[in-house]
Chain A
């Protein structure tokens, strides 16, 4: 432990939030004209861009074609200027390959891939500024982009990280908290059915505390889903007004 007080006696965190409070989420859909779907999402200081192409014909190696469903192709990258130290490789290192894999897995569970046999859906996500919770921000941004592309999903996929400090779970960790050595859990949830699309946990935690952490993560995800829902509705309203004129 760095000796940093992550949760003060009054119940405030280093950036002044309460334990269960999320960071401010701001999002826009349809930010690019070229792509089939795109979205930009800010969660506190973490900023991500997501772009979706497809469903389209298989590109590259045809051997990956699935006769009964669409293949999802994800690429996660971090801009070289996204972290405090300049990154050498924006993508292709182990961490980002793993992140791409996780994104793929999450969206394979959420997108109704069986509707598009023999086709491919590309999801590209870029982190423009990294301040903790990269995975969850990417998932949230990509969800909006997939919705913008008009690809049917079972539900919104909302993701959130949760940390555990002083016997209480902290929702939506920022970088300072993440690097402070707390045990953190990332969870991607389909809020309406309460199904977990991805669950990942780091660091040591006694098993009795897992319940409260998952519970907190689910509440946080539901909070995120409300915001995303609002963004989608807002966007549709704007678009429909424009098209009426």
Chain B
């Protein structure tokens, strides 16, 4: 089945909203959607929710013969499955252009940046090495698949444990998890991809585009970085042109901030899961879904204090100034050229000033965000390896 195309009305509405610096889900330009990382019961199984986008990654391993030119290096293989389950636009059969693109980008992100130590995966040089396989399945497509995929893949790799082996002479013994504790992979760094979508001939830029936004975007720039501020891969796509200065400063600054945030979240999620497993508590995906309820109708509970909301809101509304109706008129250097911020200036650096203005305007909104921003500790305790996070907007 082909995807239903976006109507002109919807398209215009979206673009107009972007022009006015508004987004469908109330986010700011550089905000990520709410991100959740969960783990399955097995090692190396990870679910990532990015707003409504949901992907699952499963890491597995097997013993294979190494490549002839690299006799003492293990192999890593990535596979991305775009099943029709995630979106009606995905079809079974031959891999689509999108799937090839995502697949290659993930491989570049993980393999070419050498994030795992492949030499430690060698068992018998030239004969047997471990092949690590990363399978990523789309469960729901709501935009920004690449970021979700990269987070799921690297988290699953960090979570994965391979069976221990012993070599005696020519005999290779693979121990089951009961006999010997499985061994984690040695991970050098965690590359995480951050996507930037360009709109209206590159005049506007958004981080983490959702599905409707992805449909109206002109181009996409994916930057994979690790927390050491090293760039692991860059890929521009779509027919958008970029100017050198833009790629240079702004995007990287934003990317490095986002990457350090996400890395922190992943480490926390991993620690929580480890603690839950150690405590012998319940863990895994099934545990995180409430029983006797249909999953599709499952609603996330957010602990929002409702006692004096109306009072506070009206107070804020009274104090707030009327938002100006002026639409920003950005300077387009050359048509078809992507840019960050407006008027070729580093608006990223001016963020603090803008922030203050926004505080006054969107006070009510701010209020709610602050509440949901807290990591929901109690929920995590009751559900084992379950961890929730809302990206900070500051």
Give the interface of A toward B (CB within 8 A): 63, 94-95, 97-98, 101, 105, 108-109, 185, 190, 193-207, 210-211, 214-215, 218
A-B contact count (CB 8 A): 94
Q: Are A194 and B104 in contact (CB under 8 A)?
A: no
- The 0/1 profile, CB within 8 Å of A marked 1, for residues 226-249 of chain B is 101111111111111111100110
Q: Are B247 and A199 in contact (CB under 8 A)?
A: yes
Chain A residues with CB below 8 A from B97, complex form: 97, 101
Among listed B20-28, B106-114, B377-385, interface-contacting one = B106-114
Q: Are B229 and A198 in contact (CB under 8 A)?
A: no
Q: Give 11 new A-B contacts, CB below 8 A, not counting A97-B95, A105-B239, A218-B244.
A: A97-B100, A105-B237, A195-B242, A196-B241, A202-B112, A203-B233, A204-B189, A204-B231, A207-B225, A207-B231, A207-B252
Alpha-carbon distance between A193 and B237 when the two chains are bound, in angstroms: 19
Return B337 CB to nearest CB of chain A, in Å. Answer: 6
Alpha-carbon distance between A94 and B107 when the two chains are bound, in angstroms: 11
Using CB atoms, name the residue of chain A closest to B237. Answer: A105
Chain A residues with CB below 8 A from B244, complex form: 194, 196, 214-215, 218
Say yes or no: A207-B230 contact (C-beta < 8 A), given A94-B103, A200-B236. Answer: yes
What are 26 A-to-B residue pairs whose CB atoms are below 8 Å? A63-B2, A95-B104, A101-B97, A101-B101, A105-B237, A105-B238, A105-B239, A109-B240, A185-B234, A193-B334, A195-B241, A195-B334, A197-B241, A199-B247, A200-B233, A202-B108, A203-B113, A203-B233, A204-B189, A205-B230, A205-B231, A206-B230, A206-B231, A207-B230, A210-B247, A214-B244
Does B390 sit within 8 A of A, measured CB to CB?
no
Chain B residues with CB below 8 A from A202, complex form: 108, 112-113, 233
* Secondary structure dominating the interface of B: mixed
Chain B residues with CB below 8 A from A194, complex form: 243-244
| Contact-residue size bin, chain B (C-beta under 8 Å from the other chain) | 35 or more
Using CB atoms, name the residue of chain A closest to B228. Answer: A206
Alpha-carbon distance between A207 and B100 when the two chains are bound, in angstroms: 27
Q: Are A109 and B241 in contact (CB under 8 A)?
A: yes
Does B131 sit within 8 A of A, measured CB to CB?
no
Alpha-carbon distance between A73 and B247 when the two chains are bound, in angstroms: 28
Alpha-carbon distance between A215 and B247 when the two chains are bound, in angstroms: 12
Does B195 sit within 8 A of A, measured CB to CB?
no
Alpha-carbon distance between A63 and B5 when the two chains are bound, in angstroms: 12
- The 0/1 profile, CB within 8 Å of A marked 1, for residues 113-135 of chain B is 11000000000000000000000
Alpha-carbon distance between A199 and B232 when the two chains are bound, in angstroms: 13
Chain B residues with CB below 8 A from A200, complex form: 233-236
Q: B residues 187-244 with Cβ under 8 Å of A?
A: 189, 221, 225-226, 228-244
Does B256 sit within 8 A of A, measured CB to CB?
yes
Say yes or no: A210-B248 contact (C-beta < 8 A), given A98-B100, A98-B101, A204-B113. Answer: yes
Alpha-carbon distance between A201 and B244 when the two chains are bound, in angstroms: 14
Q: Are A94 and B104 in contact (CB under 8 A)?
A: yes
Chain B residues with CB below 8 A from A206, complex form: 228-231
Alpha-carbon distance between A128 and B235 when the two chains are bound, in angstroms: 26
Q: Are B236 and A94 in contact (CB under 8 A)?
A: no
Chain B residues with CB below 8 A from A210, complex form: 231, 247-248, 252
Which one, A63, A108, A214, contacts B247 given CB within 8 A? A214
Q: Are A201 and B233 in contact (CB under 8 A)?
A: yes
Q: Are A203 and B247 in contact (CB under 8 A)?
A: no
Chain B residues with CB below 8 A from A190, complex form: 241
Chain A residues with CB below 8 A from B240, complex form: 109
Alpha-carbon distance between A201 and B224 when the two chains are bound, in angstroms: 10
Alpha-carbon distance between A199 and B233 when the two chains are bound, in angstroms: 10
Chain A residues with CB below 8 A from B235, complex form: 199-201
Using CB atoms, name the residue of chain B closest to A107. Answer: B239
Chain B residues with CB below 8 A from A185, complex form: 234
Using CB atoms, name the residue of chain B closest to A181. Answer: B114
Alpha-carbon distance between A234 and B228 when the two chains are bound, in angstroms: 50
Alpha-carbon distance between A95 and B181 when the two chains are bound, in angstroms: 38
Return A216 CB to nearest CB of chain B, in Å. Answer: 12
Q: Are A204 and B230 in contact (CB under 8 A)?
A: yes
Using CB atoms, name the residue of chain A closest to B235. Answer: A200
Chain B residues with CB below 8 A from A207, complex form: 225, 229-231, 252, 256
Chain A residues with CB below 8 A from B243, complex form: 194-196
Alpha-carbon distance between A197 and B202 when the two chains are bound, in angstroms: 13
Q: Taking each of A108, A190, A196, A204, which has the highest tally of chain B beta carbons within 10 Å of its own beta carbon? A: A204
Q: Are A204 and B248 in contact (CB under 8 A)?
A: no
Alpha-carbon distance between A196 and B97 when the two chains are bound, in angstroms: 22
- The 0/1 profile, CB within 8 Å of A marked 1, for residues 158-198 of chain B is 00000000000000000000000000000001000000000
Q: Are B100 and A94 in contact (CB under 8 A)?
A: yes
Alpha-carbon distance between A18 and B97 when the two chains are bound, in angstroms: 39
Alpha-carbon distance between A223 and B337 when the two chains are bound, in angstroms: 23
Using CB atoms, name the residue of chain B closest to A113. Answer: B239
Q: Are A201 and B234 in contact (CB under 8 A)?
A: yes
Alpha-carbon distance between A203 and B228 when the two chains are bound, in angstroms: 14
Q: Taking each of A108, A190, A201, which has the highest tally of chain B beta carbons within 10 Å of its own beta carbon? A: A201
Return B92 CB to nearest CB of chain A, in Å. Answer: 17
Return A200 CB to nearest CB of chain B, in Å. Answer: 5
Top 10 A-B pairs, shortest CB-CB distance: A195-B241, A201-B234, A108-B239, A196-B242, A202-B112, A109-B239, A98-B104, A199-B236, A97-B100, A204-B230
